[in-house]
Amino acid sequence: MGGTKTASTPTNGSKGSTRSKTLLYVGLALLMIIVPVTFQAATGLGFLVRILVVVGIWVLLALGLNIVVGYAGLLDLGYIAFYAMGAYAGVLIGQSFSSVLGGATYWVMLVPAAIAGAVTGLALGFPVLRLRGDYLAIVTLGFGEIVRICLNNNIFGLTNGATGLPKGGDQLVPPFGAIWLQDHVRFDTPIGQFVFSQNLFWYFIVVLLCIIAIIVITRLDDSRLGRAWVAMRENEVAAAACGVNIMTQKLWAFSLGALSGGVAGVTFAYVQQFISPESFTFMESVFVVCIIVLGGMGSIRGVIVGALLIRGIPDLIQGLAVAGVLKLPGSAISMISGYRFLVFGLLMVIMMAVRPQGIIPSSRRARELRPDDERQLEEEDQTMWDVEHREQVSVHNP
Amino acid sequence: MSLSYLLEQTLNGVTLGGLYALLALGYTLVYGILLMINFAHSELFMLGGYVGLGVLKLLSDPATVKATGLGFLEPIQAFFMSGTVGFVALLVATFGISAIVVGILGMVIERFAYRPLRHAPRLAPLISAIGVSIFLQNAVLLWIDSKQLPYTRADGSAFVTAQTAFTIGTVHVSTMQVFIVVTSLVLLALLDTFVSKTRIGRAMRATSQDGEAAGLMGVNINSVIALAFFIGPALGAVAGVFNGMYYGSVKFNMGFVPGIKSFTAAVIGGIGNLRGAMLGGFLLGIIESLASGFVSNAYRDVIAFVVLILVLIFRPGGLLGEAVAEKV
């Protein structure tokens, strides 16, 4: 009887925490619907929805790179190349078939963009993934620059150089329903007229993509592949000795990350209706790495928070100030955009010294990044001792 | 595609190679000891160019003195602007001050951004270095100028005029080119002697072989590392001043591309190996120059990066280095 009682207490506790967790998720979901709708309805704030869309694309990018950096422990400083591949593949192929596909162009183009990203990832990964960590970082950086320079120089006459795509006069077809919703869903609210704009449409698409990515990545993390990544990240030699095929696992991580980058790229292209090599510089790659480092390597929640902090908050504050909702002097507005990178640089240094595991660390990753923490080590030793001791007890008892 | 064109491109390549070699030494010194890529090195090169410009303006540009109201500099300027002795003194002062300032900055960066991470996982210092690099670039962008600054006096005259030193056939070799190549060779030889012959140099080599053991033998590892972080950036600053004089301007983002290429040079030669870095620097300079002259100028950076990728794949140990096995 005593046994049942002790067993029921933790079940109750976990039930309570599940309920509060559900509440939290429902609250978050409501917030994610209410905020953009409010922006859209309020007069003169509609452009903030566009900022949210861009933030969403960055969440998607960061989630993808997080597979490579956070899970597999490979530093990729040229991640933006896959984003660029996805964007250019989606636009170039999409333009040739848009007369046939019409409103489905974007949806169909997700496939070639994802393939373009993944194939580039495999092609780059196959020769370079055997390199040690920091060499890999430099090679990927070089690859990112190669892609950007080639795009900029109008390689094979395809990319239209620095002027970007689509060429003057051409337009990318918006997805099904976007125009219809924009024309038919509109009503007056106390704060202004609500129009179901294309931006809002894109917002929901991007949120959907992010949710899919999160589900896939969570499942991956708990899979055999995810465990192999952790083992490989912690100690490559030991993992190889335990039968993990290092090269295959690395290629999986690299190409899955690249695939996600390609999807983000084509989405970006169709949202912006325009792409040019300027959007794919080394700084953008650093931006994504920065998001992951600040948020917490290997932590999905951390990455989302990082993207919101780095990409979202400064843009939103700036947008609100420009719209006149926040009363900020002009000098402060220009300060936000000017000092942004300076602060990021400093933050990266400080984070590495003070909290290398990030704002919301992944529980597994935190242990690896703070191995010198003596209490942690002691705790680990204690657990090991407990395990051994319990085994002994259970062996002796019967 | 005449012979003189080939010669001209090779000459440009050697000059460029001198700059790469100076920069590559900084990467290789730090990598040899700490096994980390000092990503901020390219920014120290850029700052060297800016400090050099500042010194040159203060010491030999009357308009700057008038604008800043530093009247006491006038007699000093009179000395630096008169005759050959003054000119040589001006060059020594420019390179010396720039090297010392940037060298000290390098030590400060090491102390605050890298030293706390010495026992952290390997990616941590690299990320920290990227942070330092972004910070420095934006500091210059925000607090000095976002535009390109000409490497001239206010009236537009160059501090060092490039005359023709001598001609080979129809190819003119400028004093500037001779100056860059000779100075870099001298500095490289000095550093090589310092590391292989002196007591401190031996301490550096010991630390790079096995830091912990060197520490047990009585080598002060912290000061050895600090010294490496002084010498490397100081040489980088010299390259920065040369770069400004040779190409005629400085800009906040000028360090990035030469930085990556110099790292490539260090890898080509065998990272951690000083002579390898020199060899790699000159080799890459010549390859790049010939490629831009005979293949495509627009793709010169691509060619340098492709060389990097190929070297890392096929000979990760470099030309003069040995393949390093992963320690267990």
Q: Cβ of B128 and A349 within 8 Å?
A: yes
- Give contacts of A 4-63 with B, CB under 8 A: none
In angstroms, what separates the C-alpha of A338 from chain B's closest C-alpha? 7
pLDDT number for residue A6: 41
Inform me whether the pLDDT recorded for A168 exceeds 70. Answer: no
Q: Are strands B171-174 and A186-189 parallel, antiparallel or unpaired?
A: unpaired
Inform me whether the pLDDT recorded for A117 exceeds 60. Answer: yes
Q: Cβ of B313 and A342 within 8 Å?
A: no
Q: How far apart are CA A260 and CA B320, in angstroms?
A: 40
Of B119, B134, B326, the CB nearest to A286: B134
In angstroms, what separates the C-alpha of A35 from chain B's closest C-alpha? 33
Of A77, A345, A352, the CB nearest to B124: A352
Could you tell me which residues are beta bridge partners of residue B173?
Answer: B166
Residue A334 contacts B, CB cutoff 8 Å: no
> Which residue's entry shows tokens 């900029």?
A152
Size of interface A-B (CB pairs under 8 A): 127
Residue A346 contacts B, CB cutoff 8 Å: yes
A29-48: pLDDT as tens digits:
888 777 777 776 676 677 77
In chain A, which residues have their Cβ closer than 8 Å to the Cβ of B121?
Answer: 356, 368-369
Residue A2 pLDDT level (bands cut at 50, 70, 90): very low
- DSSP one-letter code for A194: E
Q: How far apart are CA B277 and CA B264, in angstroms?
A: 9
> Exposure string (b/e) for A122-153, b if CB count within 10 Å is 16 or more?
bebbeebbebeebbbbbbbbbbbbbbbbbbbe
B201-245: pLDDT as tens digits:
899 888 888 888 888 988 888 899 999 999 999 999 999 999 998
In chain B, which residues have their Cβ closer than 8 Å to the Cβ of A75?
Answer: 123, 126-127
Q: CB-hemisphere CA count at 13 Å for B87?
A: 7
- DSSP one-letter code for B78: H
Inform me whether the pLDDT recorded for B322 exceeds 90. Answer: no
- DSSP one-letter code for B173: E
Residue A296 pLDDT level (bands cut at 50, 70, 90): confident
- 8 Å CB contact between A230 and A53: no
- 8 Å CB contact between A92 and A118: no
- Give contacts of A 198-217 with B, CB under 8 A: none
Q: Cβ of A353 and B113 within 8 Å?
A: yes
Q: CB-hemisphere CA count at 13 Å for A130?
A: 9
In chain A, which residues have their Cβ closer than 8 Å to the Cβ of B256?
Answer: 282
B273-309: pLDDT as tens digits:
888 888 999 999 999 898 888 877 778 888 888 888 8
Inform me whether the pLDDT recorded for B269 exceeds 80. Answer: yes
The two three-digit tokens of residue A75, written as one number:
């530093």
pLDDT number for residue A8: 42
Residue A362 pLDDT level (bands cut at 50, 70, 90): confident
pLDDT number for residue B22: 92
Q: How far apart are CA B316 and CA A60, in angstroms?
A: 34
Inform me whether the pLDDT recorded for A372 exceeds 70. Answer: no
Q: How far apart are CA A253 and CA A73, in angstroms?
A: 9
Of A133, A135, A352, the CB nearest to B316: A135
What's the CATH class of domain B3-314?
Answer: mainly alpha
What residue in B sits closest to A338 (Cα-Cα)? B142
Which has more pLDDT, B321 or B43? Answer: B43
Question: How far is residue A347 from each of residues A341, A344, A355, A360, B119, measured CA to CA in Å?
Answer: 9, 5, 10, 15, 20
> Which residue's entry shows tokens 């055999």?
A224
B146-175: pLDDT as tens digits:
888 888 877 777 777 767 767 777 777 888
Q: How far apart are CA A55 and CA A199, in angstroms?
A: 13
What residue in A sits closest to B303 (Cα-Cα)? A146
Q: A46-380: which CATH topology?
A: ABC transporter involved in vitamin B12 uptake, BtuC (1.10.3470)
Residue A356 contacts B, CB cutoff 8 Å: yes
Q: Let me know how long chain B is.
A: 328
Q: Cβ of A127 and B309 within 8 Å?
A: yes
Q: Cβ of A353 and B128 within 8 Å?
A: yes
Inform me whether the pLDDT recorded for A397 exceeds 60. Answer: no
Could you tell me which residues are beta bridge partners of residue A188?
Answer: A193
Residue A129 contacts B, CB cutoff 8 Å: no
Inform me whether the pLDDT recorded for B35 exceeds 70. Answer: yes
Q: Let me know how long chain A is.
A: 398
Q: How far apart are CA A229 and CA A215, in angstroms?
A: 18
- Give contacts of A 60-79 with B, CB under 8 A: 73, 75, 77
- 8 Å CB contact between A345 and B134: yes
Q: How far apart are CA B150 and CA B163, in angstroms?
A: 19
> Which residue's entry shows tokens 């990035």?
B256
In chain B, which residues have their Cβ closer than 8 Å to the Cβ of A150?
Answer: 299, 302
In chain A, which residues have their Cβ closer than 8 Å to the Cβ of B295?
Answer: none
Residue A157 contacts B, CB cutoff 8 Å: no
| Domain definitions of chain B by residue range | 3-314
Inform me whether the pLDDT recorded for B1 exceeds 60. Answer: no
In chain A, which residues have their Cβ closer than 8 Å to the Cβ of B260?
Answer: 138, 141-142, 145
Residue A186 pLDDT level (bands cut at 50, 70, 90): confident
Of the candidates B66, B59, B63, B62, the one whose C-alpha atom is nearest the C-alpha of residue B87 is B59
Q: Which amino acid is at A213?
A: A
Cβ neighbours of B71 (radius 10 Å): 9
Q: Cβ of A139 and B316 within 8 Å?
A: no
pLDDT number for residue A11: 44
Q: How far apart are CA B295 and CA A184, in angstroms?
A: 57
Residue A240 contacts B, CB cutoff 8 Å: no
Task: Give the ipTM.
Answer: 0.83
CA B127 to chain centre: 21
pLDDT number for residue A381: 53
Taking the CA atoms of B126, B127, B132 and B133 in sequence, report the sign of the dihedral they define. Answer: positive
Could you tell me which residues are beta bridge partners of residue B249?
Answer: B150
In chain A, which residues have their Cβ closer than 8 Å to the Cβ of B36?
Answer: 134
- 8 Å CB contact between A54 and A270: no
Q: How far apart are CA A47 and CA A55, in angstroms?
A: 13
> Which residue's entry shows tokens 């990272």?
B271
% of chain A with per-residue pLDDT over 90: 9
